[in-house]
Chains A and B, each alone.
Chain A
Amino acid sequence: MKKAFPKWTLYLGLILLYVLHNDLWLWNDSTLVFGLPAGLAYHFGFSIVTAVLMLLLVTYAWPKHLEVEEEGGREQ
């Protein structure tokens, strides 16, 4: 079955987010958005989008081959 998000698209997403982190268009914008200055509101939203991308990454591109077989023992 084909994955909904191939690994490369998610890696591309990471690069895209890195680029979008540089929000030059809001540099001198002091408008309040939901009570926060626009530059801060943008980066708060950016953090939420990052969490969503991480969720996709661990769901569709998890490096399962790194798992080491268990010796036993209780998880804490």
Chain B
Amino acid sequence: MTMTVIFIYLALVLAVGTLSHKLFRGTGEDYFVASRSFGPFLLLMSLFGANMTAFAILGASGEAYHEGIGVFALMASSSGLIIPTVFYFIGTRVWSLGKRHGYLTQIQYIRQRWDSDGVGLLLFFVISALMIPYILVGFMGSGITLSQITGGQIPVWVGGLIVCVVTLAYVTYGGMRGTVWVNTFQVLIFMTFGLAAFIVIFQKMGGVENGMRMVAEKHPELLIRGDKIKPLQLLSYTCIPLSVGMFPHMFLHWLTAKRASTFRYALVFYPLCIALVWVPSVLLGVLGSVDFTLKGPEANSILAKMIELHAPGVLAGFLGAGVLSAIMNSMDSQTLALGTMFTQDIVRHYGFHDKMSEKQQVLFGRLFMIAIIAMTYVLSLFVNRSIFRISVWTFTGFAAMFPVVVAAVFWKRSTKYGAYASILSVVVLWLYFFLKGSEEIGDAGLMPVAVILIVSAIAMIIGSLLTKPPAPSTLEKFFATDGAVAAKRGSRKIHV
């Protein structure tokens, strides 16, 4: 029965993705950014869905199983404050520039902003390298969930493969529109079923308060921060959500908004949506400590185990579908973003000197997406690490490059050399801390992301101040005009 429900859900996902293709206009801009036509609801669903990964659902509950309720403060409530703030200050401005100049990727913007192919290429490689593990997390999560929910009837590798094929089908066929329609459907599914899981499981435990009392008896340390999370760790973790400023899939989603004002709803509802998803995930993870004894990455499956134990049958199928929704709606956006970057920033820019037919753009986009998904799926078969840890390292890299987008958007005096210095400092320090296995610096809980971010900002400032200021014509293009004025001057759509 569980399997039937999950397969019906996957069929619905495919149907929604296929339906979206009816509106396809046959152009690259429509395929990659849905002709910049989305309203407030679809934008909120896509921004939220793209950010809710296996990390949020499985990683959060797995981490809460080990570390307790402090996980919510570490990642969720800080994200609820910082992510909408980034949308407000950066997202709206990037949207405006994207609409005026016809950008489809952040590399196009960065390349033109500093008039440098080199900076664009460097950023392309760094972003691609960081995105692969992020997509990998999705495959790991989907394989684990399907296997767990079906009691092992679907092996982990088959589970990952099924999700791989379904995602591939609707992303390559429907492009951005298909992705966002499916995202919207999936966000509604995982929020509804996530809350249902929460209610059903806690009802069986005699209510939330009773559940927490059971945890208090067995593992009281999970209900406080205590020594598990240090104050400096909480503070430095607030740097992690800055990663949304540099995620290529968030950039792509920003560009899909019809107007700047479309962002308003996303800003207001984002903190609430995060709380609604993370509170149940964290509570279920903590509650899992009453029933299960798991070690290390085994805790990634705590949510699936809780569902299997407390809500088997049809409900388990619904809940499994909810978890899969959360996983797939970030994987699809990430894959679409990488495919768009390969097509636009490498093939179109270098192979076709920016002259590529609409059909060719769509074809290359699809081919790259197939390659990315296939490669990541194979990698997922050999990796066995904590979803939370992999995600945090990915976030660290993106967050540490935040000074690049801030300088691009706000600092006229910033130069390509400053950008080079900033990105390279991130690469060097990230590799250093990652290879050293440092999840914190010293004993006080300071996260590497805080240090790398500060160094990256200093590198941007020094690198820029020591080099020649950008040409006035470049500044005129990016700073002298605001949206309405630029449109009136007829300076829109400078093709890149």
Number of A interface residues at 8 Å Cβ cutoff, please give it. Answer: 41
Question: If A39-B69, A40-B72 touch, does A62 touch B487 (CB 8 Å cutoff)?
Answer: no
Q: Which of B166-188 contact A (CB under 8 A)?
A: 177
Nearest CB on B from A24, distance (A): 6
Minimum CB distance partner of B70 in chain A: A39
Name the one of A50, A68, A70, A76 contacting B271, with C-beta atoms under 8 angstroms.
Answer: A50
- Pairwise interchain contact B224-A27, C-beta atoms closer than 8 A: yes
- Write out the residue numbers on chain A whose beta carbons fall within 8 Å of the beta carbon of B69: 37, 39-40
User: With the chains together, A74 CA to B272 CA distance in Å?
Assistant: 29
- Write out the residue numbers on chain A whose beta carbons fall within 8 Å of the beta carbon of B231: 22, 24, 27
Name the one of B76, B92, B213, B225 contacting A39, with C-beta atoms under 8 angstroms.
Answer: B225
Question: If A22-B231, A47-B274 touch, does A68 touch B77 (CB 8 Å cutoff)?
Answer: no
Name the one of B23, B209, B224, B268 contacting A54, with C-beta atoms under 8 angstroms.
Answer: B268
- Pairwise interchain contact B96-A43, C-beta atoms closer than 8 A: no
User: With the chains together, A64 CA to B263 CA distance in Å?
Assistant: 12
- Pairwise interchain contact A30-B208, C-beta atoms closer than 8 A: no
- Write out the residue numbers on chain B whose beta carbons fall within 8 Å of the beta carbon of A8: none
- Write out the residue numbers on chain B whose beta carbons fall within 8 Å of the beta carbon of A67: 96, 259-261, 483-484
10 nearest CB pairs, A to B: A35-B209, A69-B487, A47-B275, A68-B483, A43-B77, A35-B208, A65-B482, A37-B223, A50-B271, A66-B96
Known: A32-B212, A70-B258. 17 other contacts (CB 8 A): A18-B238, A21-B78, A23-B73, A28-B224, A39-B69, A39-B73, A43-B76, A46-B77, A47-B272, A50-B77, A50-B84, A62-B261, A65-B483, A68-B259, A68-B486, A74-B37, A76-B34
B residues apposed to A, CB below 8 Å: 23, 34-35, 37-39, 42, 69-70, 72-73, 76-78, 80-81, 84-85, 88, 92-93, 95-96, 99-100, 177, 207-209, 212-213, 216, 220, 223-226, 231, 234-235, 238, 258-261, 263-264, 267-272, 274-275, 279, 282-283, 482-484, 486-488, 492
9 interchain pairs (CB within 8 A)?
Answer: A27-B231, A35-B209, A40-B73, A67-B96, A68-B96, A68-B484, A68-B487, A69-B488, A76-B39
